[in-house]
Structure 1
């Protein structure tokens, strides 16, 4: 808590200009570059402003895999190994608190070439915070993620609990971030205690399959738990996607988050692998489309 309070104090001055701009105009696209946290951080495409972005636009059978990281690291090793084995790209949304508690794990995600997004600092309900407190959560997390990973994260933000409103999205856009939500959550984070199994986790993915779907999973388990169903289910999820003719897209490329970083690339053509590509990843045009809200 002391760590977060100190981070908030150093953030308030940097956010005052952006919050003033958001408060005086309802149009986020005119203010989305008001605050620059660091000169090297890329800004999200303005085409993504004003939207929850629960899917990406594509005419091909592609989905994006995303993982939230706010709890422990119990599933990270398995998730990274499976993604590497299948040549599949993913995007990881980290809280700043997670990055500070687990810097080695955060670095391993970035070092593997996957995208890193922002999931707030302490994972609060944003509707219960003031605009300044919300901005502090976003920017404090950005700093913590940079320090832990040693790289500039993507200009992508995901609200805790899927707690979004047009005003809150406008505030995030004003800070230079696009709101990237999800088409479906696997609910694997509920674990066996919540009635979930590997089979049910996979079924939630296949039931939501559509071109441009964004799948939300988690790399850890809530406090006191250690079973990470999403990690256990990931091989079956990838097999299910492939059997249905779906590939996995790099979210940074299809959503326009042009970070200067290498990333896993692949092709689903005939399922043939080459030295530089595997069966799952693919690059496509970016776009936006809103969808129904889901689990946090």
Structure 2
């Protein structure tokens, strides 16, 4: 009996994911020109405004979360922001890891004695901020899983078995290591780079909006942030709502990554492995 009880939460999680994956197929059929809008964490200063726009426009997105420093509160995955994440879960958004301490891959290094890969990394958040360290594949996987576990702890909703490396910086060895422990990497389309982390003096909001409306094509993954420290004229919400409205006017619709053809298959194949619960 104790062993059955211990497995019960995992069985419920697997069942929930199975139902959501099945629903993705029918949802995709009603969205003939889909786009997949994603947000990475940041200083969270615009997070309430982003949520307001998404709610008003009835758009579901995928959030990639790390525990980054914020303008207010104790980190983007800290207790102060937990109610914000729970509300997004109730609204039907999806969540995935951005590594817990926003750990940038820098380089592959010589393998360990057992032949396993190692990586040079540098965190931009957490207790090791700014330090260059060596990570084994297992350490990098734990860095991904830590964020996924925290998201599930906050929202009660299992994170998708996906991750986004900070800055999109990866190597074939890093991607293989992550996939081996259950996580597929999600990048973005060139046109889907919405430019909110670029300097506003050189890339004004009006220019970024016009470029996105001109270049975005069906099926692409789009990427923005919940606040960029260096941009003086914030991208959100100035561009976000006009962009969504303009894309809708062109016949586009929005879905989360669980409905993306490639990643829906990955989620279905890995839903019983529960990498976020290790």
Question: What TM-score range do you get, normalising by the shorter chain?
Answer: 0.5 to 0.7
Q: Name the structure 2 match of 1:199.
A: 206
Number of positions where the alignment pairs a residue of Structure 1 with one of Structure 2:
209
1:162-194 Cα distance to aligned partner (Å, 9 max, x none): 11222111111122122111112111123525x
Equivalent of residue 63 in structure 1, options 35, 40, 47: 35
**How far apart, in 2, do the equivalents of 1:243 and 1:218 lie?**
24
Q: Would the alpha carbon gap of residues 226 and 137 (structure 1) be closer, same or farther in structure 2, given more than 3 Å must change?
A: farther
Alignment of 1:145-160 (within 5 A): 145-160=151-166
**How far apart, in 2, do the equivalents of 1:181 and 1:85 lie?**
27
Stretch deviating more after TM superposition (101-110 or 171-180): 101-110
Equivalent of residue 246 in structure 2, options 215, 232, 240: 240
Does the CA contact (< 8 Å) of 1:157 and 1:177 recur in 2? yes
**How far apart, in 1, do the equivalents of 2:151 and 2:165 lie?**
16
Q: Would the alpha carbon gap of residues 122 and 79 (structure 1) be closer, same or farther in structure 2, given more than 3 Å must change?
A: same
Q: Name the structure 2 match of 1:92.
A: 63
Does the CA contact (< 8 Å) of 2:98 and 2:163 recur in 1? yes
Equivalent of residue 105 in structure 1, options 84, 96, 114: 84
1:12-66 Cα distance to aligned partner (Å, 9 max, x none): xxxxxxxxxxxxxxxxxxxxxxxxxx66666999xxxxxxxxxx9xx94221111
**How far apart, in 1, do the equivalents of 2:84 and 2:206 lie?**
27
Alignment of 1:1-296 (within 5 A): 60-69=32-41, 71-97=42-68, 98-100=76-78, 102-126=81-105, 127=107, 128-129=120-121, 130=135, 131-183=137-189, 184-193=192-201, 195-222=202-229, 227-254=233-260, 255-256=263-264, 257=267
Does the CA contact (< 8 Å) of 2:38 and 2:223 recur in 1? yes
Q: Say which SS state the counterpart of residue 99 (structure 1) adopts.
A: coil
**How far apart, in 2, do the equivalents of 1:171 and 1:231 lie?**
37
CA displacement at 1:205 relative to structure 2:
2.0
Q: Say which SS state the counterpart of residue 181 (structure 1) adopts.
A: coil
**How far apart, in 2, do the equivalents of 1:244 and 1:253 lie?**
20
Q: Would the alpha carbon gap of residues 145 and 227 (structure 1) be closer, same or farther in structure 2, given more than 3 Å must change?
A: farther
- Considering only aligned residues, what root-mean-square deviation do their CA atoms show, in Å? 3.1
CA displacement at 1:227 relative to structure 2:
5.0
Q: Would the alpha carbon gap of residues 103 and 64 (structure 1) be closer, same or farther in structure 2, given more than 3 Å must change?
A: same
**How far apart, in 1, do the equivalents of 2:175 and 2:11 lie?**
22
Q: Would the alpha carbon gap of residues 217 and 40 (structure 1) be closer, same or farther in structure 2, given more than 3 Å must change?
A: farther
**How far apart, in 1, do the equivalents of 2:56 and 2:32 lie?**
23
Does the CA contact (< 8 Å) of 1:68 and 1:216 recur in 2? yes
TM-score (normalised: structure 2): 0.66
Q: Which runs of 5+ in 2 are unaligned?
A: 1-9, 19-27, 69-75, 108-119, 122-134, 272-278
Q: Which runs of 5+ in 1 are unaligned?
A: 1-37, 46-55, 261-296
CA displacement at 1:149 relative to structure 2:
2.3
**How far apart, in 2, do the equivalents of 1:187 and 1:40 lie?**
39
Does the CA contact (< 8 Å) of 1:96 and 1:144 recur in 2? no
CA displacement at 1:221 relative to structure 2:
2.2
TM-score (normalised: structure 1): 0.62
